[in-house]
Structure 1
């Protein structure tokens, strides 16, 4: 029971900034045949029912999606999805808050993985 209380408090509490997430190890580092725009639109579409609106930033030839936390959207980002143009496709890196916590929500990882080649 104590572990459940600790896990819930970690998920709800604690703020991570974009700079903090940039320093974490990637939870996904892959290539896709989709352009950065196609990939970003796919991820945004898959997360629109479970998260507040994602912020999008232009980064050179690519994009960055800033995913808000699910339970407390104003407490900082839950994940960063960096999408860089590579040839005719994209290189994708996902940085997640609590990346080494096994009970973290999996919707960001699932959306990022499903959008690699799927629709």
Structure 2
């Protein structure tokens, strides 16, 4: 966790609000990059929670799970709204992406 914190501090960058264009996709509230970053930090929290078996933070981790699911749905909704791609290929890709890791984890840990 300390190593992750050190890498994160090294990678920090200051954004000058005057030089950033307001129409830039990275400057909108809950942009794809911001949502993915939040989801990544929540994944770190999930792994740390399960690795340390920290039962005292059970409720906040459940909130993170709910926020993660919401952000995933929000990202898909924004994608469909902006691209109008309602093809079967996109639907199959989403199902694969959402369910593959769960299946892999279940097989790897020999749990139903």
TM-score range, shorter chain: under 0.3
Higher relative strand content: 1
Greater length-normalized contact order (CA 8 Å, ≥ 6 residues apart) = 1
TM-score of the aligned structures, taking structure 1 as reference length: 0.23
Higher relative helix content: 2
| Larger of the two Rg values belongs to structure | 2
TM-score of the aligned structures, taking structure 2 as reference length: 0.24
